[in-house]
Structure 1
């Protein structure tokens, strides 16, 4: 059974996630879920990412119950502390200085709510090893890519790769914000044809 006629809604305003979803060749609309993304007291990064992904999907599913809704969230963590989008140049510089010559974890959570009401969830753990970065390199990188709306203050799909010595993951697309391997599986389980 296929449900190719059922609309797909991406519960995100992220242009990066929209570009990723476009690569699967599916028609979809994107809607900002407008939820509170502040961590709860003592909430760890992995469960935080999972909760936010599901809350985003549930918020949009309530508005579009017949649709397949995709929610995703990513939390960057280093030395027990969660790092969000830097939002400004100074904060981006601080983040990259902190990550220099260190190992940083990214938890990317996915929640898919099918048209029939099934719920599928997944969390990808990606480990990024940053090379030693000097201040001049950090400034040059930020000036060239302005990664101010990216968790970890880099864009892995372009020049951000030059900041690393290695990336360890089961899904290379997850670091961009949407784990496409698992998403494809969940969409197939929901009745969509991919490819």
Structure 2
């Protein structure tokens, strides 16, 4: 069966490509707006599922991987800032604090309708950051504006972080890879 990653993120693609399997990427169709009274975990899982299933008609005989990440601080979901000043504000709020990232993963077998889901939880404690450090970071790392909370750990964003706690270090970048290997195995795809 074809393996499809429902994402245009080069970072998610890079993680999944580590498994050495032939991989196709495609843009999912998904409104990423959180629903009223939806928890961060529920939002992440719903979006991962929706992204994977949105490509089923385009790929009727495939294993489709969907993923989404939602950050949470003080009971508030932290999305993508979208603008430089929003990124500054978000990082000032997060500075010196621990943020919980929910990285949801869905694997949808479009032939059988079988759906598997998992969520990787990562706790990230940010350093105490000055406004100038935040502005320097966002100037040097403009792609961070497209990441939850502007925290792009795979590049310069690692300098923002003081401590990271996770069962799977890949989760913070957006794909709980350990869980994906298990899901693929459940579908008869052997990695090793």
TM-score by length of 2: 0.94
1:55 aligns to what SS in structure 2?
A: helix
Deviation, 1:27, is: 1.1
Q: 5+ residue gaps in structure 2?
A: none
Between the aligned partners of 2:18 and 2:112, the Cα distance in structure 1 is 24
Once the two structures are superposed, the pairs formed by residues 80-159 of structure 1 within 5 Å of their partners are: 80-114=75-109, 115-146=111-142, 147-159=144-156
TM-superposition CA deviations, 1:10-37 (whole Å, max 9, x none):
1111121111111111111111112111
Q: 2:5 aligns with which of 3, 10, 15?
A: 10
Deviation, 1:64, is: 1.4
Count of residues in correspondence between the two structures: 190
Deviation, 1:123, is: 0.8
Between the aligned partners of 2:161 and 2:33, the Cα distance in structure 1 is 29
Q: Please name the residue that 2:189 is paired with.
A: 192
Between the aligned partners of 1:79 and 1:177, the Cα distance in structure 2 is 21
Between the aligned partners of 2:157 and 2:47, the Cα distance in structure 1 is 25
Deviation, 1:133, is: 0.3
1:22 aligns with 2:14: no
Identify which range, 90-99 or 19-28, moves more after superposition: 19-28
2:125 aligns to what SS in structure 1?
A: strand
Q: 1:170 aligns with which of 167, 170, 174?
A: 167
Deviation, 1:62, is: 3.0
Runs of 4+ in 1 over 4 A off after TM superposition: none
Between the aligned partners of 2:171 and 2:153, the Cα distance in structure 1 is 10
Between the aligned partners of 1:95 and 1:126, the Cα distance in structure 2 is 18
Once the two structures are superposed, the pairs formed by residues 9-88 of structure 1 within 5 Å of their partners are: 9-88=4-83
